[in-house]
């Protein structure tokens, strides 16, 4: 089945990401959205709501835990004990499709792996949708650029 029949729904209230294929849920993952709530204001560190597409994907073949800066692997693996908020393993870069979230691409809103896997299941990110590293690899491999994403309260 082509991934064009796949869609992603992120539920902020339930802190989960659901992957749909032909209208049926095929995978559910725990996630972490912003510790600051929902919003689209630049610099707010909030997770933007609404309709998006995956505009670009980064991280093909990178090892689990690889740290990315400016979407480039830096050759280091992040670990849970580190205080920094790393973008790790894979990146699905979101592009807002509505007027209120059209700045999401410029805000660098991603679905990505994290070195804070212990916080998955509760709001803790700085705007992005964090996933466990193994799970973001699985999702990454099942979707293409152009896949629809909806982030809802």
Q: Which residues contact residue 128 at a Cβ distance below 8 angstroms, ignoring those fewer than 6 apart?
A: 33, 34, 47, 87, 108, 109, 110, 111, 112
Q: Is domain 3-152 classified as CATH 3.40.50.261?
A: no
Q: Considering all CA atoms of the chain, what is the largest pairwise distance in Å, rounded to the nearest integer?
A: 40
Q: DSSP secondary structure string, 24-72?
A: EEEEEEE-B-BTT-B---TTS-PBPPEEEEEEEEE-TTPPTTEEEETTE
Report the chain's mean pLDDT, rounded to a whole number. Answer: 95
- Is pTM beyond 0.85? Reply is yes
| Distance, CA of 79 to CA of 44 (rounded, Å) | 26
Q: Is residue 149 a contact partner of residue 8, using CB atoms and an 8 Å limit?
A: yes
Residue-wise pLDDT tens digits, 51-67? 999 999 999 999 999 99
Q: In the chain, what is the straight-line distance between the N-terminal and C-terminal CA atoms, in Å?
A: 29
Banded model confidence at residue 29, pLDDT cuts 50, 70, 90: very high
The dihedral through the CA atoms of 92, 95, 100, 106 has a sign that is positive
Q: Cα-Cα-Cα-Cα dihedral of 145, 139, 103, 85, to 10°?
A: -140
- Enumerate the β-bridge partners of residue 34: 125
Chain centre distance of CA 141:
14
What average pLDDT score do residues 28-48 get? 97
């Amino acid at each position: 089945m082509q991934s064009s029949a796949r869609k992603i729904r992120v539920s902020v209230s339930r802190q989960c990401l659901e992957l749909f294929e032909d209208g049926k849920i095929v995978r559910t993952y725990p996630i972490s959205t912003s510790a600051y709530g929902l919003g689209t204001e630049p610099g707010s560190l909030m997770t933007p709501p609404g309709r998006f597409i995956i505009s670009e994907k980064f991280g093909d073949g990178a090892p689990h835990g690889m740290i990315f800066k400016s979407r480039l692997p830096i050759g280091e693996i992040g670990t849970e004990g580190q205080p920094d908020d790393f973008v790790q393993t894979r990146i699905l870069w979101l592009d807002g499709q509505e007027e209120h979230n059209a700045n999401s691409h410029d805000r660098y809103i991603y679905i990505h792996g994290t070195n804070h896997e212990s916080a998955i299941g509760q709001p803790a990110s700085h705007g992005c949708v964090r996933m466990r590293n193994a799970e973001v690899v699985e999702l990454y491999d099942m979707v293409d650029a152009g896949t629809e994403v909806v982030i809802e309260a």
